[in-house]
Structure 1
Amino acid sequence: MKITGHFLSPTRQAEILPFETAPRPIVGFACDYPSGLSSGMHSHPRAQLLYAVSGVMRVDMQGWNYLVPPTTGLFVPADAAHAISMDGPVAMRALFMREDAATRVAQAPKVISVSGLLREVILAACAEPVEWDPDGRGYHLAELALDEIGRATPLPLGLPMPGDARLLRVACALLECPHDPRNLEAWGDVANASSRTLARMFRAQTGLSFRQWRQQARLTAALNSLVTGAHPTKAAATAGFDSVPAFGAAFRALFGITPGQARLLHSGR
């Protein structure tokens, strides 16, 4: 494991080492984390599927900010530097993947939908010993997990983050307060740049216009609110929408489900 920052103690590193070096294609790793904990930037020599039975994770990786609520998982390639923040208490259940296993499911980071079947397979894999019997249950769990991960639907829960320090100030402020109503002209004062410069750089560095980026950031924040139990009216306010129907239409256009359906994820339904 490579680390920058202060989160992972020598004891915790020693606990994770067997999962990073196990002679098995997949091993399950279970750990619960308190609200507000941030890992700092680090990497692992093996790919991971990060999943939480409960709680929401935010992951910064390779210029992207990913939201990982329950019923979703984030594939993290081997040696990819990433930082995880816990948005509320998180019960993490992750899969470490050997190189030959990881190449069967993905090459780049992606958020996937975790089916009920994959959820149970992940939990079962976490209950297996690190060096499970190659001829026993662990083998079948590993094969089923790889098949389910490979078939899973990718989800638009990643936001490209700008590299320019001025734009990054604006982006981080909007992630902290997504309903902030200021337009690009007002944000120009914060970034010490003209609105025209910000607009041009936003599209060049993220592939999205400022309006598109902010809309996705707002709706992603609303999803976070819904899956942690908030009512759609409150989620709409979080996303800066005055109209709940307009919020519902925009939410469904991005995520393919209604705010009410997203709220059911809070209870695991």
Structure 2
Amino acid sequence: MSDLPDIKTWANDYPRGHVIALHAHAFCQLVFAKRGAMRVKARGGTWVVPPGRALWMPAREPHEVFCRTEVAMRTVYISDSVRLPFVASFAVLGVSALMRELIVRLVEGPVADGTRPHLLALLIADLKTGPVMPLNLPEPADERLARVAGLLMEDPADRRGLDDWAAAAGMARRSFARRFAADTGLSFGAWRRRLRLLGGIERLAAGEPVTAVALEAGYDSTSAFIHAFRREFGVTPGRYFGAGP
């Protein structure tokens, strides 16, 4: 197994609200939220890492981490010689039961020298087939749109419509909508929905009741929030967090 990449590991627990300031690493990172939820800010956007999910971060990319809850972070640093389809991109990954055990075993040990390469080979194989999840919020490059995005991030429940936001940006409605989609890869409506739902995931991970989360996110009812959540992520909030249908 001489073709395997070099790795390092790190484990630490952080309190709610802890911030890991802007920094970068020479290795790629597989950051696993064994417990808790994290928000990672980097070039081009924000990524939310709920409990039981992992974030792949490319090497040498500056990023900062905000712990939305108490967080048990388990990290495998992998040299960028590894061959993965997303090796040069940020990606939130679904974590299978096998991947979870491999990460925890590699990070927390104990691991015999002869066993470590086999565990790493299994982890890389599982990474190649693991699902990439829509848990990122792209950041518009246009300064006018970035101001609008910033205002909405401060108050996701703001109910102003497309015409209002286009006017706030000093743009025609059509130009605003076209440029927003070009900058982020999402329509303005889809971007705002994802913003609300990602915030909802963080609040649900912190143990807040779904009704309160739905209203804080700007939805008129719990059922409307659950419908939007299922449309975006394919499951209800209860199933997403392993607590119901």
Which amino acid is 2:55 matched to?
L
Selected match of 2:73 from 76, 81, 92:
92
What is the Cα deviation at residue 141 of structure 1? Answer: 1.8
Q: Is residue 2:178 matched to residue 1:200?
A: yes
- Mapping of residues 108-187 of structure 1, within 5 Å: 108-128=89-109, 134=113, 136-187=114-165
Distance in 1 between residues matched to 2:61 and 2:188, nearest whole Å:
27
Counterpart position of 1:57: 38
What is the Cα deviation at residue 189 of structure 1? Answer: 6.1
Per-residue Cα deviation, 1:142-184 (whole angstroms, up to 9, x for no partner): 1221122222111110111101222222212222321121223
Per-residue Cα deviation, 1:108-157 (whole angstroms, up to 9, x for no partner): 2211111222112111111248xx754x2222221221122222111110
Counterpart position of 2:18: 37
Counterpart position of 1:227: 205
220-229 or 183-192, which moves further after superposition? 183-192
Distance in 2 between residues matched to 1:249 and 1:193, nearest whole Å:
32
Q: Secondary structure at the match of 1:83?
A: strand
Instruction: Name the count of aligned residue pairs.
Output: 240
Unaligned runs of at least 5 residues, structure 2 = none
Q: Is residue 2:86 matched to residue 1:106?
A: yes
What is the Cα deviation at residue 195 of structure 1? Answer: 4.7
What is the Cα deviation at residue 186 of structure 1? Answer: 3.6
Selected match of 2:9 from 22, 25, 28:
28
Distance in 1 between residues matched to 2:167 and 2:198, nearest whole Å:
26
Q: Taking structure 1 as the reference length, what is the TM-score of the superposition? A: 0.79
Q: Secondary structure at the match of 1:39?
A: strand
Decide whether aligned partners of structure 1 residues 203 and 105 sit closer, same or farther in structure 2, where only a CA change above 3 A counts: closer
What is the Cα deviation at residue 73 of structure 1? Answer: 0.7
- Preserved contact between residue 68 and residue 206 of structure 2 (Cα < 8 Å): no
What is the Cα deviation at residue 219 of structure 1? Answer: 1.5
Distance in 1 between residues matched to 2:130 and 2:104, nearest whole Å:
17
Counterpart position of 1:11: none
Distance in 1 between residues matched to 2:230 and 2:54, nearest whole Å:
20
Q: Secondary structure at the match of 2:106?
A: helix
Counterpart position of 1:237: 215
Q: Taking structure 2 as the reference length, what is the TM-score of the superposition? A: 0.87
Which one has the bigger helix percentage? 1
Distance in 2 between residues matched to 1:183 and 1:199, nearest whole Å:
12
Per-residue Cα deviation, 1:54-102 (whole angstroms, up to 9, x for no partner): 22111122302111011111111111222211112221101100233x3
- Preserved contact between residue 43 and residue 63 of structure 2 (Cα < 8 Å): yes
Distance in 2 between residues matched to 1:191 and 1:42, nearest whole Å:
32
- Mapping of residues 78-89 of structure 1, within 5 Å: 78-89=59-70
Counterpart position of 1:13: none
Distance in 2 between residues matched to 1:256 and 1:118, nearest whole Å:
21
- Preserved contact between residue 70 and residue 227 of structure 1 (Cα < 8 Å): yes
What is the Cα deviation at residue 25 of structure 1? Answer: 2.6
Distance in 1 between residues matched to 2:98 and 2:120, nearest whole Å:
13
Counterpart position of 1:7: none
